[in-house]
Amino acid sequence: MFDKVSRYLRRVRRMDWGQLWRYVGKVQAITHRSRIAILCDIFGCSVKYSAGYMDYFEYEFFLMPQAARRTYLTIKIAMDMDRRYNAGARREVFDDKIAMHQVFDDLMGREWLNLNTTTSTELEGFAARHPQVIVKPPAGSAGVGIEVLKLPPGTDFAALHGRLVAAGQTLMEPVLRNHPDLDRLYPGSLNTMRVITFARDGEVSVLRVVLKAGNGGATDNFATNGMYTFVDDIGTVFLPAIDREGDIHERHPLTGTAFRGFQVPLFSEALALVRQAALRLPEVPYVGWDVAVTPTNPVIIEGNTSSGIFQPKYSLNPTGIGDFPTYERAMRFCDDGRFDKLPPTLKP
């Protein structure tokens, strides 16, 4: 008990209090409750539901009844599940993009180069086949270190090779193109799906599928102002999109394409590809897969052991039930049947 209290106090001390107070103000503008009451509720949710203030705001704990609050995943719960299930020795495959390309090469759907093991002459040959490429650091995240390059004839490939290796941008791939339907949504970035899976005893549970889209930036990552929306089990978007500020968009702000009803192309093929990948490393069963759909086929971009949480905020959620029950049924980590008697909706 003392250790748990000490860990909690350490988390409180490390908090960004300025950011917390900004979110308290956002909640106050919605609920018209006092800031002190909101702050007390935030700390109560952190103790009872392991919900940080970002969870509290993003999923709208301030609107939920208690029965709904206990069904929502939080950042801490997701991190605990990652530590519990993905602690195997093969985890490093997902921490190194080059290692992942080696293990999942037949599922990546594209040629690639490891600049640490290739020559400038091989790079020149690659450029002749792929005059526009993307380079990445193998251990990067959130889009850091990613660069798109055009490689016309006459490029000084020896100098380029040296620069990229020195910068640690040692994974090179051809630039992929969206399926035309996804270009209609937003043509300025590769718009990908995050498919979260859990594999157990040779079976794969698809826990959540979201569709991400760029919004003015060159990638669909939240760090570059991307947004995401939710996809059902036949590939149809059924909710508006959410951006990193928590704003809701029924249509893409730049193209005007409606999110609800949008059909992801080649969706069944994409799920089949992910199910195949999810069984390859049973030592790492809980993965968030980034999948692109090109004009001809779906391809895996990467896998993430820290898969993130994608669940509808309470005001958008048709049932008011978070993703915790879905995860618990797939992972079978609890034997008390805590969610067995949930009603079909927790909305008042």
The answer on 92 and 228 residing in a single domain is: yes
162 and 252, same domain (yes or no): no
Asked whether residue 167 is assigned to any structural domain, the reply reads yes
Kindly report the average pLDDT of the chain as a whole number.
Answer: 91
Same domain, 182 and 170: no
Q: Where are the alpha helices (DSSP H) in the chain?
A: 2-14, 17-31, 35-49, 53-58, 66-69, 75-85, 92-95, 97-103, 105-108, 120-129, 157-167, 180-185, 267-278, 324-331
Check: pTM over 0.85? Answer yes or no.
yes
Is residue 129 located within the same domain as residue 237? no
- For residues 295 and 177, the answer to whether their CB atoms sit within 8 Å is yes
pLDDT of 94 higher than 80: yes
User: Same domain, yes or no, for 195 and 98?
Assistant: yes
**Pair (169, 186) in one structural domain:** no
> DSSP 3-state assignment of 136?
strand
Q: Select from 157, 174, 191 the last residue of a domain.
A: 174
Q: Are residues 196 and 296 in the same domain?
A: yes
Residues of the domain holding 50: 2-63
pLDDT tens track for 27-50 = 999 999 999 999 999 999 999 999
User: Using CA atoms, how far apart are residues 21 and 292, in angstroms rounded to an integer?
Assistant: 38
CATH number of the domain enclosing 123: 3.30.1490.20
Q: What does the buried/exposed string (b/e) look like for 172-192 if buried means 16 or more CB atoms within 10 Å of the residue's CB?
A: bbbebebbebbeebbebbbbb
Residue 89 has pLDDT above 70, yes or no: yes
The reported pLDDT for the residue numbered 202 is 92
Q: Are 189 and 286 in a shared domain?
A: yes
| Residue at 345 is within a domain | no
Percent with pLDDT over 90 in the chain: 78
Decide if 317 is inside a domain. no
Q: Are residues 296 and 156 in the same domain?
A: no
pLDDT in the model for residue 129: 95
| pLDDT higher than 50, residue 5 | no
User: Do 92 and 48 fall within a single domain?
Assistant: no
Verify that 218 and 92 share a domain, yes or no.
Answer: yes
What does the pLDDT look like over 275-316, one tens digit per residue? 999 999 999 999 999 999 999 999 999 999 988 899 999 999
**How many structural domains comprise the chain?**
3
